[in-house]
Structure 1
Amino acid sequence: MSKLLISFLLFSLPLFDIDPGEIHLHIRETDNDLGNVLVLVFNQSTGFPSDPDKALMKLSLPLKGKKATITLPDIKPGKYAISVFHDEDGDGKMDKNSVGYPLDKYGFSNNPSSFFGPPSFEKAAFEVGSKPVRVDIKLR
């Protein structure tokens, strides 16, 4: 009888949905409260960090006290990475110099170094389960 019960439980596990989690996103180190912080949330490496058409979510957050925060509810468990930039002038584009270096402040989840270009999805990725996850991004 106990073997039958254990077998039933093991085979029925995939039938149960895992509760969604949530991301508490905190972005800091802007120079001022002008414009918005543009946020792209990815659940795959394709398009990361800058292709909004490949992003799972696109957000525009207002600034208050040189920071922005938001809670993203009902996030399916999995691996995610976030890229952000401070769009001070409100044009929706990251301003760059003549050699392509960003002039707008930017950042990524996990705050990986980006001396030789943007980080990979894997370096910026974090796991979401059924418990809330706090993601702090420091702009540079």
Structure 2
Amino acid sequence: MLNWLFILSILVLNLNTQGSIPEIILQVKHANSDEGWIRVLVFSDPKGFPDQIEKAMKSYSIKPKNKSIELDLSDIPEGRYAITAIHDEDGNGKLTTNSLGYPLEKYGFSNNPKVYFSSPSFEKVAIQVGKTSKRILINLH
């Protein structure tokens, strides 16, 4: 009888780990300082990308430590997502720009695309979240 209980408990433990949620970790690096917030927006749709907070599927504001953050995104379901990050160093809730619209605070996107005169497209920065664990790195520039 004891052997059957042991085998049954092993089977139950094995079934529980097979359906576990994959770990999705986002790292944002190279902030100017530990001042202000690093704001992260996760978009599941091109509408509102890259900066309309109200159209983002999720938004986070995290105090940087050592000029970076690490964020657990394991609660987002499978799908395609574009992620925007800005270092809101002055804490005003938005990306501060000069009179010509050039950013004065650091920013970045998933897939770390080169940015020239405008934001990259949703498609260029979209990443696939699936059944496997994933680490995503955004380098602010």
TM bin, normalised by shorter chain, reads 0.7 to 0.9
Match of 2:131 in 1: 130
TM-superposed CA distance for 1:20, in Å, is: 5.0
Query: Over residues 9-33 of structure 1, what are the superposed CA-to-partner deviations in whole Å (9 max), with x where a residue is unaligned?
Result: xxxxxxxxx8754421000011211
Return the alpha-carbon distance in structure 1 between the equivalents of residues 82 and 49 of structure 2. Answer: 8
- Counterparts of 1:19-34 in structure 2, within 5 Å, are 20-34=21-35
Query: Is the Cα contact below 8 Å between 1:21 and 1:74 reproduced in 2?
Result: no
Match of 2:79 in 1: 78
TM-score, normalised via structure 2 length: 0.82
Question: SS at the partner of 1:130?
Answer: coil
Match of 1:54 in 2: 55
Percent of pairs identical after alignment?
Answer: 46
Letter in 1 for 2:55: K
Return the alpha-carbon distance in structure 2 between the equivalents of residues 79 and 20 of structure 1. Answer: 17
Return the alpha-carbon distance in structure 1 between the equivalents of residues 120 and 48 of structure 2. Answer: 12
Higher fraction of helix: 2
- 2:92 corresponds to 1:91: yes
Name structure 1 gaps, 5 residues minimum: 1-17
Higher fraction of strand: 1
Extract structure 1 runs of 4+ deviating beyond 2 A: 18-23
Query: Over residues 13-61 of structure 1, what are the superposed CA-to-partner deviations in whole Å (9 max), with x where a residue is unaligned?
Result: xxxxx87544210000112111110110001111110111110001001
Match of 2:114 in 1: 113
TM-score, normalised via structure 1 length: 0.83
TM-superposed CA distance for 1:74, in Å, is: 2.4
Return the alpha-carbon distance in structure 1 between the equivalents of residues 95 and 23 of structure 2. Answer: 27
TM-align CA RMSD: 1.4
Letter in 2 for 1:121: F
Aligned residues: 123
Query: Over residues 90-136 of structure 1, what are the superposed CA-to-partner deviations in whole Å (9 max), with x where a residue is unaligned?
Result: 11111101011111100000000110200000110010001122110
Return the alpha-carbon distance in structure 1 between the equivalents of residues 102 and 111 of structure 2. Answer: 21
Name structure 2 gaps, 5 residues minimum: 1-18
